[in-house]
Structure 1
Amino acid sequence: MSLLSQIGFAQFTPPPSTSYTRLHHKPCSSSMSSSSWTPLEDSGNKKSKKVWIWTKNKQVMTAAVERGWNTFIFPSNLPHLANDWSSIAVICPLFASEKEILDAQNKKVATIFDVSTPEELERLRPEDEQAENIVVNLLDWQVIPAENIIAAFQNSQKTVFAISDNASEAQTFLEALEHGLDGIVLKVEDVEPMLELKEYFDRRTEESNVLNLTKATVTQIQVAGMGDRVCVDLCSLMRPGEGLLVGSFARGLFLVHSECLESNYIASRPFRVNAGPVHAYIAVPGGRTSYLSELKSGKEVIVVDQQGRQRIAIVGRVKIESRPLILVEAKTDSDNQTISILLQNAETVALVCPVQGNKLLKTAFPVTSLKVGDEVLLRVQGGARHTGIEIQEFIVEK
């Protein structure tokens, strides 16, 4: 049974036409589904991340419900607050005492554990608790106890939440030991941490979407002279077929391959993409683009493979150096657009080519051996951009 089916507290997404409708309180039930994101690596298990909001601030509540989170925790001595909010929106109220969380029918739905010592952590065992959910309050160390809890509960059907008061700490809990804890209890009285956490969820949800890549045929290759090109070194390793989406025009980005492929003259660098000149656009999370010149350590970019599967990676370093460039133009098969890119003229710089049917005949074409008529992969998108955000306006790029 998946963790998703274990959770009896759901989250309600209000109708898009209005912020709220006055509705009577509906108790939490196992039939309600939760708003969450499912990590790509866990998608086979349908293991979703959950968020409960612990607050007494009505502004936090309204902002959370508008974003699809409606499970709220109240102090057990404030039932009137739950009743008041239930007259504004459909919410799932839970009530916290010192050691447990109850639902509106006084049924125990979670056990709270304060963990500040190794002994307290050792006493936290999956088989000892009756409740489906465990809420841990990591009072001292955070990362190591979270990793130990993930390891201990990896084969359990229980759902483990961590209490956090900010989005940065919540992200740490959700990513600890790669898989992360199952959910977050965000305990805040201010809207900003909730908005930051929702933005993080949106970025991670984006990773599960497969991008539509388009085939394009190379129509021109031309030596272009010297320019300042950018090597993007990531904090992640890339596999054959993966790279970054880069282009001279926002309307069309080429899939530029990483330096993970072996060669006779230089060691493989699977963390690096020799991406192009400083003026070029690169795809970043949130459907945005950035100039290569704007990238720096700590920024996020999107790594994409030949099938359009994407993941977020962190930039570890950017190297800008003057190198000889080559201009590549290609025409899309779908709408006959001409798109171009400038790249360093070197054997380690390559463009990813499409999969032929179900067969992978070639991973990428080094630009030094690229020929007119070769097929490469593009991401075609809206053309006009303002500070990296797509907008609807008249624009000509050439």
Structure 2
Amino acid sequence: MRILLVGSGGREHALVWKLGQSPIVEKLFIAPGNPGTALVGENLPITDDDIPGLVRAAKEHKVDLVVPGPELPLVLGLKDALVNAGIACFGPSAFCARLEGSKVFAKNMMRKAGIPTADFQVFEEAYAAREYAKKHPLPMVIKADGLAAGKGVIIAKTREEAMNAIDAIMVQRVFDAAGERLIIEEALVGEEASLLAFCDGKTVVPLPSAQDHKPVGENDTGPNTGGMGAYSPAPILSEGLLAEMTERTITPMIRLLAEKGQPYQGVIYAGLMFTANGPYVLEYNVRFGDPECQPLMVRLESDLAEIMSACCTKRLTHVPVKWSRKTGLCVVLAAPGYPGSYPKGMAISGLDQAAAVPGVTVFQAGTAQSGDQIVTSGGRVLGVTALAPDLTSARSAAYQAADLIDFDGKYLRRDIGAKGISRTG
């Protein structure tokens, strides 16, 4: 197979690293990729939002399968354009991608499918949102409707914070067109977990549980980020619960989409909140989580290319999906200032030493090549990922490796996996 993977982050490096292990993969292309993906395949200078350019490259390079990493190309209709060109795509159509591209669409679909989610109201202008927020119980969650790079969700603990959030989203348009509508919903209290599943339009095969760490600060403080670390499995979502949660939160959505003539193919991600009143779905993503993808990929023992191909051809029941019993844990190294503004171009040292720690793989995310030097180019710079027999040893190995890497102002959370360890003793 000749595969084109779209994207340039840590998730994409992890996916191409795993695809590169497949005996059925002849050639890997990555658009636009990063210095890490260049070690496994050929980077192409095409951005992830250039749909015509990606289709053209897939044709020119005689690609059999395209794998979009991030959500943007899927929301923009990459799958639809590729299908029209006769090229397989591991990912959902633009219609299905609205599950992530529009929070209003996702919440309405959850209601129709009978999937538990927080009560919500939708607003199309700021005045009505402010009036509602004046009376809504605190804390409340305020979400921009569209894509906002994982940062369009604000948990307002005071009326002032709520008003500022509404103003930022709908008046200042800090998230551009994503702020044309917003949702105000009740704040759910509990512990989060990530449930992902492979889908071929009908069959649903859940991946092992994972837990992300969204806030930038330790003990889940500070603003939300794209994710500061993750581990798998997550004790909060045990193996026994996994099948039940799949039936409650993913299968009904896949069934509803199929009934609408929009079969979902690819991977789907349900962000779950376990509350005192049971589990609720916070959101859906239409691609692998980042950084959840990294610990999941180091745990996957089956052939990822075979699985992805089976999802595109409705043969998922015929392909084995096996996982290591070990634990994977990823610690994100971020640039100073992230998720706000941050400097770029800082030299990174210690990558080879970190990768030499037993069980550790370093996935590059916000990096660039400057001569012979790897430098920072994004907010989340690296995903230091360890595979070890248990959570405590995976955590130890990941932090040992992370401490061997240096760049100016390097920032990381020191409590990745702590919740899981507290649960298992």
**What TM-score results when the alignment is normalised by the length of structure 2?**
0.24
Bigger CA radius of gyration: 1
Q: Which has the higher strand share?
A: 1
**What TM-score results when the alignment is normalised by the length of structure 1?**
0.26
More relative contact order in 1 or in 2 (CA 8 Å, sep 6+)? 2
